[in-house]
Amino acid sequence: MKIDDNLPPGQLRERKALKKTLISQISVCDASNWEDSRLSWESCCLSKEDFFNETSLKLFSYQFKWNNIYQAYCKQLGKTPETITLWRDIPLVPAMAFKEFPLFCGNPSLASICYHSSGTTNAKHSCHYLWENDIYDVSLTVNFKRHLLPDFDKIQIISLIPSSKDLPNSSLAHMVFMLIQKFGDKKSGYYISKNGLDVARIIEIFDCCKKRKKPVIILGTSSSINYLLNFVKETGLSFSLPEGSRLLDTGGNKGVKKPIERDKFYLLIEKCLGIPSQYCVNEYGMSEMGSQFYDSVLVSTYDVGEERLKERPKESGRKKVVPPWVRTRILNPETLEDIGAGESGILCHYDLANLDSVLGIQTEDIGARMKDGFEIIGRSQGSEVRGCSLAIENFLSTTLKRKTCQLKKH
C-alpha cells in the first residue's frame, strides 16, 4: 500500500518536509573516506545545538499531532508543542511501551513495516511501526560506513545474522540486507539459517579469504559469534583472516556484556580468527530506535592514528559514538536529572531517525558519560536478584501461549 494513499494530505505534507530535511542532513555525514567523514560529521548542521533543537521540536510537533497515544501521554504530562522550547523537555517514552502500544503516527494496520524486538519466542515483543525505511536506511548506512568501513567502498561481508527470509520483521536482518546491498562485494553472503550456523561453509570461506588476501567483515550477534568461536576452539582450528579484516557484533541492548567479559571475548576472537580487538566493533541498538551506536575503536585508528594511539591508549578506549542526528542524555534514576561527572544513569535517546513513532526513548540500560560518547555498564550484581516474585511478563506470555495452544487443540 502506498503511503500517499494512507495518510491524510496534511500529515503527508508535513512528513515529506521533515523527511527531506532529515535525509539531506544525515546524508551530509556520508563520505567515501575517513578524512572526509570526520569533517562531514563535524559540519553536519544537526551537530549544532540550535539546529538540532529546531528540528527536534518540529518532529515532536508532528508526532504530537499524528500519534494519538503519544499526544494523550504528552497532554497528561502538560508537555505540548505550545509549552516546550527545548528538546530536553520532549517527553520520553519507556522502551517497554512498544510491547503493548502502537506508538505510530498513523493506523498501525496500514503500516508497511513493523520491526519486532528479538528475545524468547514466549516473551512479548516490541513492535516498531514505520511507513518507510528511507530515513532508517540512510542513518544506518552513513553510520556504519563511518565506524566500520572508513577505508573501503566495498568489502566481502560474511553474515552470521539470518536474512529477512528467515527473520521477518527483524530490523537487524533488514540492516544486514542494506549493508550487503550498499557495501558488500559479489562474494558476500549469509552463513546462517533457521538450521543454525553453516560452519562447514564458514570454514570453506575463511580458507578462500586467506587465499584472496583481501580483508573481510563478519557481522554477527554476540551469540552467533560465540557459537562460532566455541566451534573453532573445540575443533582446534584457528584462522588468520587477512589484515584489515574486521568484525561487528551486535545483540542490541540484550547483548551487553560486562567490560571483563568483553575483553575476554575480543581476545578469543583474535586467537581464533586473527582479528585484533581494535577491529572488533560492538553495535548497540534496539528495535525501538532507528539509529545505532557503534564503538569508536576502529575509526579512532584513522582519526587519531595508530602510532598516537600506542602513545595514548586511553584515546582508543571503547565508547559508543552518538551520531549528529541523535542526542543521548544519561539521567539519574532517582531524580531523572542529568548525571554529574563520574556518575552512571539511565540511557535516554532522542533519535531524529524515529520519524514515524516517537523520538524520545527511555531505555532500561545504564551508562556513563565518556568524552565524545558513552559506555554501557553491565547489569549490577543486585539486579540479578529478583526474588521469588513472579516474572509476570514472561509467565503470562508463556501461560497465555499454552492456553491458546490448548484451546486450538480442542
Partner 1 sequence: MPIKKTLSKYANYLPGLSESYPAISPPGLDKLFSYPALTPSALEKVIYTILNSRNQYLANKPLNEIIYVLDKTSRIWLDSKSFWRNEAIKYLTLSTIFSKEMVESAIDATFSALLQKPLEELVSLELGDASLLDSFCRLSSIKQASFKKQASSCKQVSIIKGYGPAIKGYGPSIIFHVFSGNIPGIAVRSLAYGIMVKAANLGKMASGEPVLASLFAFSLRAVDPELASSIAVTWWPHEENTLLEKAVSLADDVVAYGNDDTLAAIASKLPLGVRYHPHGDKLSFIVIGKEVLSLNFVKDIAIKIARDVSLYEQMGCFSPQFVYLEDGGEVAPIEFAKFLGEALEEIKKKLPKGKFAPDIAAKISQLRKYYSLKRAASKDATSNSVPLKMQFVLESNNSTDWTVVFDDDPKPSPFCCNRFIILKPVTHISSITETLSYFKNKISTVGYAVSESRIKEVASYFAPLGAHRIVPAGQMQSPPSHWRHDGRFNLLDFLRFVELG
Residues at the contact surface with partner 1, assessed by CB under 8 A: 69, 72-73, 75-77, 92-97, 100-101, 258, 333-336, 344-346, 362-366, 377, 379-393, 395-396, 399-400, 403
Which residue number, 238 or 380, has a Cβ lying nearer to partner 1? 380
Which residue number, 278 or 398, has a Cβ lying nearer to partner 1? 398
Q: How far is the CB of 363 from partner 1 (least distance, A)?
A: 8
Q: How far is the CB of 95 from partner 1 (least distance, A)?
A: 7
In DSSP terms, 373 is beta-bridged to: 370
Which residue number, 102 or 215, has a Cβ lying nearer to partner 1? 102
Which residue number, 94 or 196, has a Cβ lying nearer to partner 1? 94
Q: How far is the CB of 386 from partner 1 (least distance, A)?
A: 7
Residue type, 94: P
Grid cell 503511503 in the structure block, residue: 3
SS3 159: strand
Distance CA 294, CA 247 (A): 12
SS3 197: strand
Task: Write out the E strands in 229-352.
Answer: 246-250, 280-284, 293-295, 320-321, 326-331, 344-351
Distance CA 57, CA 301 (A): 36
Please work out, in degrees rounded to the nearest 5, the angle formed at the alpha carbon of residue 232 by the alpha carbons of 174 and 259: 65
- The H or E element containing residue 258 is none
Q: Quick check: 281 and 147 in contact, CB under 8 A?
A: yes
DSSP-derived letter for residue 210 is H
Which residue number, 27 or 223, has a Cβ lying nearer to partner 1? 223
Which residue number, 221 or 397, has a Cβ lying nearer to partner 1? 397
Query: Per-residue DSSP letters for 99-141?
Result: GTS---SS-GGG-SEEEEP-S-TTS---EEEES-SHHHHHHHH
Cα separation of the two ends of the chain: 37
Q: How far is the CB of 77 from partner 1 (least distance, A)?
A: 7
Q: How far is the CB of 389 from partner 1 (least distance, A)?
A: 6
Which residue number, 33 or 122, has a Cβ lying nearer to partner 1? 122
Q: How far is the CB of 277 from partner 1 (least distance, A)?
A: 22
Q: How far is the CB of 74 from partner 1 (least distance, A)?
A: 8
* Torsion, Cα of 61, 137, 369, 91 (10° steps): 20
Q: How far is the CB of 70 from partner 1 (least distance, A)?
A: 8
Pairing status of strand 189-190 against strand 156-159: parallel
Task: Write out the E strands in 276-382.
Answer: 280-284, 293-295, 320-321, 326-331, 344-351, 360-370, 373-377
Distance CA 159, CA 216 (A): 11
Which residue number, 230 or 380, has a Cβ lying nearer to partner 1? 380
In DSSP terms, 217 is beta-bridged to: 157, 246
Which residue number, 75 or 264, has a Cβ lying nearer to partner 1? 75
Q: How far is the CB of 334 from partner 1 (least distance, A)?
A: 5
